[in-house]
Amino acid sequence: MSAVVGGLTDAARGTATTPTPTPISRRKLTGYFLLLPALAWLAIFFAVPSVQLMATSLYDRSGSLEYGYEMTFAVGNYPAAWTAYATQFGRSFMYAGIATVLAIFLAYPLAYAIAFRAGRFKHLMLVLVIAPFFTSFLVRTLAWNSILADNGFVVGSLKTIGILPEDGRLLASSVAVVAGLTYNFLPFMVLPLYASLEKIDLRLVEAARDLYANGFTAFRKVTLPLSLPGLVAGTLLTFIPASGDYINSQLLGTPKQAMIGNVIDRNFLVILDYPMAAACSVTLMVAIVTMVLFYVRRSGAEELL
Amino acid sequence: MTETQTPAAGAQLSLRALTKRFEKFVAVDALDLDVGAGQFFALLGPSGCGKTTTLRMIAGLEEPTSGQILLGGDDIARLKPYKRPVNTVFQNYALFPHLNIFENVAFGLRRRRIGNVKPKVDEMLELVQLGAMATRKPSQLSGGQQQRVALARALINQPRILLLDEPLGALDLKLRRQMQLELKRIQTEVGITFIHVTHDQEEAMTMADTIAVMNNGVVEQLGGPTELYDNPATTFVSNFLGQSNLIRGTVKTAGADVVVDVHGTTAAVPADRARVTSGDVWVGVRPEKVELTAAGQAAGAPGTTQTGTTLAGGVVAEVAFIGVSTQYLVEMPWGQQLTVFVQNNGARDDFRPGDPVDVHWRGEHTFLLDAAQDAHAGEEE
């Protein structure tokens, strides 16, 4: 305490006479000291693994876990990964994209209703959105497995009304995987959207209506642009984990619905081809970061980055 | 209690039995009101009196329970807000934060697909002296500037009526004074009917041609600022606009002058200033219209021969020196304290607490109100 007081008086005196920079720079350093735990955490659990992953992707593929890998800067691992798994990469982004779009159309009306129409049920509805998180991701996806099962209620009903042919099934199809992805990441779309919508001053909508905008135009010109930060955040929070997901494909699909997550999973844990798995991981990371940057620039929501 | 006078012909906006009932209470109760074309009209009242609800019904943001809103003869009460030739300057402005000043002002024109937007917006920004701010966002502007953008955004649509909802409420006192004159100037320049909602009696009196004083969902009195101040129709108006001394009396005779017995003294009030002409009454007089003299001395400001009413036996209870005037509280023999403002122009004696004094006033400065009304209605807390 006394040191701080001394520092203050020194600093004050310093401005009057000759500058004495030492106390000020010591106070500036305090901020950096406070950053240290977080920086250490990031270094150990993010920077080191990332560097290790990139290094692994450049190892010689002829090595093995038992005898070790040799660092040969095998850049060729990347083209090998792309040619071998182009389908899975494409499928991942397609599934994640469809799931994200579906989530937008499901989440926007829901978030809008919670923000503006729910009245005293607002908090209850928010709790219901979050409630699925009380059980594990795996269990919830397994539940979808039984919902979409061949002898289940949904398939039965769809067959009765003729939407699904007699030998049709939902499980083990792209529909099931996309449905699972949409369901699992829906809350990540709802919550940021709700946060954005809830902040909108309804008088702005009234002002738009006063200025010759009908209900739809007022939404398009005022509510929607003002909810854009939430929409962008929700899209990122849905699309990014969905493109790397492998549980939904595993539990609701077949190898025909394999996503890049399944490829990485199999290469790391079954085939034990670490360089290939790492090359796929790095490619996925770079691809997502590129897409996100492009998307955020285009949507004008740079403040999110 | 409700008094509505119809101003000169050519009234553009007429409210007929306009009523808004919320679940439990009546916000606006069978309101009848006529606003002449090109008028600067103020709806004045305390919060919760129904003035904002009235404004929102005219704008179309609130649906009336019953009644009519006639704009140039057409009933617009059931029209959607975006179909009404009416624009609003909202409280706290409600500028679109994601649009720059130019686009905020252009919003109404673009919605109506009116061409030639740029020169119109530039001209309007010039009118409110914000030409240089076109590319800024609302958050980069000061409160006074935002206020002017809100005004420009509404005016550019050339509405038949401009509604202003407490437009100066968020500004500090100095800026508010400046904007009052500014608004008045712009209104004179564009000639659009302004309907201005406020709880600030000074603001209403400074700007408006006609003021409707509202209380509990009805209009208490309607008239020009001078008329409302000099001859209030109810105790509420007498207290809400400035201050009043209301003294209990009983009417003795009514003729050209209504003669009232006020605690043993006879006071005459011109008949046209008497709202009641029999029974118990409040005799009202504004503090600055009361003259104070040392006990037993004759009243009479220099140059006047008029003698009015003299109430003797007062004792000065409190003195507050304000600067331009001195404010006295005078305790009368019947226990009531009267407020007296005396101009510090050197022509009057100063008094100290405890001095015996007489109070005097002239008949044409008083008004008679129904004694059934609450003497403290409309007083500021």
Contact call for B98 and A203, based on CB within 8 A: no
Angle made by CA atoms B268, B272, B278, in degrees to the nearest 5? 60
Residue B380 belongs to some domain of the structure = no
pLDDT (0 to 100) of residue A12? 43
Residues B323 and B256 in one domain: yes
> Which secondary-structure segment (H or E) carries A185?
helix A174-198
As a whole number of Å, the CA-based R_g of chain A is: 26
B1 domain residue, yes or no: no
Question: Does one domain contain both B59 and B134?
Answer: yes
Q: Which domain holds residue B335?
A: 243-370
Sign of CA dihedral A258, A263, A265, A266: positive
Measured between CB atoms, which of A201, A217, A226 is closest to B94?
A: A201
Enumerate residues 6+ apart whose C-beta is below 8 A from B379.
B239, B240
Residue B373 is which amino acid? Q
> Given B191, B217, B235, which residue is the final one in a domain?
B235
Q: What is the Rg, in whole angstroms, of the alpha carbon atoms belonging to chain B?
A: 24
d(CA B225, CA A183): 65
Distance CA B14, CA B62 (A): 17
Please, what is the average pLDDT of chain A?
A: 89
Residue B375 covered by a domain: no
Whether residues B98 and A213 touch (CB distance < 8 A) is answered with: no
Better-scored residue on pLDDT, A220 or A166: A220
Same structural domain, B197 and B114: yes
Which one-letter amino acid corresponds to residue A40? Answer: A
**Domain check: are B209 and B156 in the same one?**
yes
Domain boundary among B185, B217, B235: B235
What total number of domains does chain B contain? 2
Nearest by Cα to B69 from B195, B238, B185: B195
The confidence score (pLDDT) of residue A302 equals 61
Span A214-229, mean pLDDT? 94
Q: Which domains does chain A have, with CATH numbers?
A: 2-57 (no CATH), 78-304 (1.10.3720.10)
Residue A9, pLDDT above cutoff 50: no
Walk along chain B (381 residues) and give the pLDDT tens digit of each residue: 333 333 322 348 999 999 999 988 899 999 999 998 989 999 999 988 999 999 999 999 999 999 999 998 889 999 999 999 999 999 889 999 999 999 999 999 999 999 899 999 999 999 888 999 999 999 999 988 999 999 999 999 989 999 999 988 878 888 888 888 888 888 888 888 999 999 999 899 999 999 999 999 999 999 999 999 999 999 999 999 989 999 999 999 888 889 999 998 988 899 999 998 889 999 999 999 998 888 888 776 554 445 688 888 899 999 999 888 999 999 999 999 999 999 888 777 789 999 999 998 988 899 999 999 998 888 865
B231 and B304 inside one domain: no
Task: Give the CA distances from residue B268 to residues B61, B282, B292, B361, in Å, rounded to whole numbers and listed in that order.
Answer: 49, 13, 19, 10
Beta pairing, strands B265-270 & B280-285: unpaired
User: With an 8 Å Cβ cutoff, is B108 touching chain A?
Assistant: yes
Q: A210–B59: do the CB atoms touch at under 8 Å?
A: yes
Q: Are residues B185 and B269 in the same domain?
A: no
CATH code of B174's domain? 3.40.50.300
Are B190 and B250 found together in one domain? no
Distance (Å, whole) CA B239 – CA B150: 33
The Cα–Cα gap between B13 and B194 comes to 11
The answer to whether the CB atoms of B59 and A211 lie below 8 A apart is no
Domain boundary among B235, B270, B298: B235
Q: Do A211 and B82 touch (CB under 8 A)?
A: yes
A300, closest residue in chain B (CA to CA): B98
Residue B375: its pLDDT value, please? 87
| Within-domain flag for B376 | no
Distance CA A257, CA B117 (A): 54
Q: Which residues of A touch B87 (CB under 8 A)?
A: 210-211
B201 and B149 in one domain? yes
Residue B291, domain CATH: 2.40.50.100
pLDDT of residue A4: 40
**Residue B5, in any domain of the structure:** no
CA distance B183 to B199: 17
Residue B11 or residue A240, greater confidence: A240
Residues B115 and B212 in one domain: yes
Nearest neighbour of A211 by CB, restricted to B80, B97, B108: B108
User: Do the chains contact at B61 and A208, CB–CB below 8 Å?
Assistant: no
CB B262 within 8 Å of CB B251: no
Residue B106 and residue B248 in one domain: no
- Is residue B103 located within the same domain as residue B231? yes
With contacts defined as CB-CB under 8 Å, which chain A residues touch B81? 206, 209-210
State how far residue B111 is from chain A, nearest Cα, in angstroms. Answer: 6
- DSSP letter for each residue of B295-322: TT-----TT-----EEEEEEEEEEEEE-
Q: Is A104 helix (H, G, I), strand (E, B) or coil?
A: helix
What ipTM, to 2 d.p.? 0.82
* Residues of chain A above pLDDT 70, percent: 90
- B220 with B251, same domain? no
